[in-house]
A and B are shown apart, each in its own frame.
Chain A
Amino acid sequence: MLASRDAITIYALAVFLVYASISIPRFASPVTTGFLLLDVIPVLLIAMPMTLIIITGEIDLSVASIAGLTSATMGVLWAGGMDIWLVLAISLLVGVVCGIFNGFLIAVLGLPSLAVTIGTLALFRGLALVTIGDNAVANFPKSLTAFFTSKLGATGIPTVMIGVVVVIIFFGVLLHFTPFGRGLFGMGYSKEAAAFVGIKVARSKFWLYVASGAVSALAGIFWTLRYTSARSDNASGLELAVIAAVLLGGVSIFGGKGSIPGVLAGVLLIGSLNYALRLGRVSDVVLITVTGLLLILSVVAPSIGSAIRGWRHTRRAHHNAAQ
């Protein structure tokens, strides 16, 4: 357990935070907490359902496009003069509908999720463009946009983190402490064997995609209100960032393995690295390179480790045999 991949990421995060606090001026301050968390919230949110989906051996590449479509919808509805709460509800519903669409194609029709969500990645982003075109809507209610950047007193923690934490706990408990979660791990390794113990493979997948759609919509709403700008290209390209963070958090791309604490550490590791580099005015070039290297290292390191152990073992065996 202690050497598993998610644990390694958690240690890496702890080590990095300590290092950064000591050696990077101004890193250890509530201001950092605030800005850093605001930056990672969209990834953090979407990473939750994504973790569950990847654990079942599937993937969802359309999340960022769903967020974009949500944002576009918000913009158009608000600009059309609708009540803001109704706007939010409908936008959330749009995400849910997108999730249902994905879920229908993947779970009900049994199509491969990688291929389907490449398709819906283009489709949902396209619909965002159709919805809002090249307009941007920015005049959201001040009180609301201010709320989305406000902090909890002097802690520096953004107020919206309360909601985010609820989402994290929800998915964490769902995955690790419920029969549903047990089923997901089973499915991840073998859909057939899972079906034989009565796990409703298709239905579970369907609900995961719906959840993914809903949470992506939340991320889209957060994005729109935090940046006070509803545009069709909001959050574009975020899917790869989310997947990178989830994989860094120790989730196996083949399914079956992974944990919410690990993913949390993965997201925060990339986020804090990112922020630390920005504080040090180190170019983003370094950031993407480091992100890539971390990702490679996180999967290669364990296999190098086991190769070395195996090699030692055989050498010892041969040695003993020789005597």
Chain B
Amino acid sequence: GSGNPAGGDSAAGGDATITFIPKQLNNPYTDVVLGGGKKGATEAGFTSSNVVGPLEASASSQVSFINAETQAGTKVIVIAANDPDAVCTALGEARTAGAKIVAFDSDTNPDCRDVFISQVVAKDVALIQTKLISEQIGGSGEIAILSATANATNQNEWIKFMEDELASNPDYKDIKLVAKVYGDDNDTKSFQEAQGLMQAHPNLKGIISPTTVGIAATARYLSTSAYKGKVALTGLGLPNEMRPFVKDGTVKEFALWDPAQLGYVAAFAGEALKAGKITGAAGDTFTAGELGERKVQDGGLVIVGPPTVFNTANIDKYDF
């Protein structure tokens, strides 16, 4: 754009504001992430932190929120992009107006943000899920993936790593990925997609669902159907949602990182950017409160921590 969209307001100075724009409001996983974010924002010294966002996770729905934040002169925008490109122009305008952009959870196009706070190394997330499913189905048989939306940046990246791994790792040579379906992070849709998988693929041995809504809905379907105990399920889930299914044997093991840490680190990264301590270049380091020092890697990537595997033995220890 031309000129300075934020008008004279950027000079207001002093007020250090941070705004989180999640994919969608009123989503339990998001709430945990944002809880960590708020905590981090306070500890990092922001005078005010806000959460704004759409009620539905569609590609373009975040843009007008970014615009409003741009105009409000917000110093740091932390965003989980619904679409890597749709938010780019708006983020560009925000940066012109002086805002620092932290992507978290789901990346934007790397040109449009300063850093990306990633849960874990994408490849690690993919590998742990293939490992879990392989263990649960005994190393051979048909499997399927039930993902979120077809465009979800993070899920698609993991799925790519999973496919590569299944193809290249000799341990998995007997495992066949027969289908990829999308539940759109909608409970009902995911539920019915799970159902469809069973019918379309009578020999299905296992399902990977790398999304919290999807894994819970699939678990619900399996636990209420004849397939309970016959078809294995793993993926990324919230312990609080998955507890009954782990206890009733529908799900043996699944994985997730601590979502709160994601928001927490993002807030500190924002503070570091704002203060000019880092620029997002590889090698920059900043302190993320109680989590200690973090380093910016290639491509502006900041890794939060390794995933945890949950099962009957440990699930009661977690509350998120």
Contact = CB atoms under 8 A, between A and B. Distances in A.
Given A237-B56, A275-B64, A284-B55, A134 B182 contact: yes
A281 B63 contact: no
A274 B52 CA distance: 13
Contacts of A34: 5
A278 B59 contact: no
Contacts of A227: 59-60, 63, 83, 85-86, 89
Q: Which interface class (under 10, 10 to 19, 20 to 34, 35 or more) fits B?
A: 35 or more
A231 B126 CA distance: 26
A223 interface: yes
A151 B64 contact: no
Interface in B43-81: 50, 52-56, 58-60, 63-65, 67-68, 70-72
Contacts of B7: 26, 29-31
Interface in B1-25: 1-3, 5-7, 9, 19, 25
A149 B89 contact: yes
A84 interface: no
Contacts of B150: 133-134
Interface in A13-36: 26, 29-32, 34-35
B109 interface: yes
Nearest to A149: B89
Nearest to B50: A281
Interface residues of A, number: 37
Contacts of A275: 64, 68
B151 interface: yes
Contacts of B244: none
Contact of A229 (B1, B6, B85): B85
B60 A234 contact: yes
A152 to B, nearest CB: 10
B1 A151 contact: yes
Contacts of B60: 223, 227, 229, 234
Contacts of B70: 31, 35
Contacts of A229: 59-60, 83, 85-86
A134 B184 CA distance: 11
Nearest to B67: A35
A136 B83 contact: yes
Pairs A-B, 3 closest by C-beta atoms: A134-B150, A138-B85, A278-B68
Given A31-B7, A234-B60, 8 more contacts: A151-B1, A223-B60, A227-B86, A237-B56, A274-B64, A279-B68, A281-B68, A281-B72
Interface of A: 26, 29-32, 34-35, 38-39, 133-134, 136, 138, 145, 149-151, 154, 223, 226-229, 231, 233-234, 236-237, 274-275, 278-279, 281, 283-285, 288
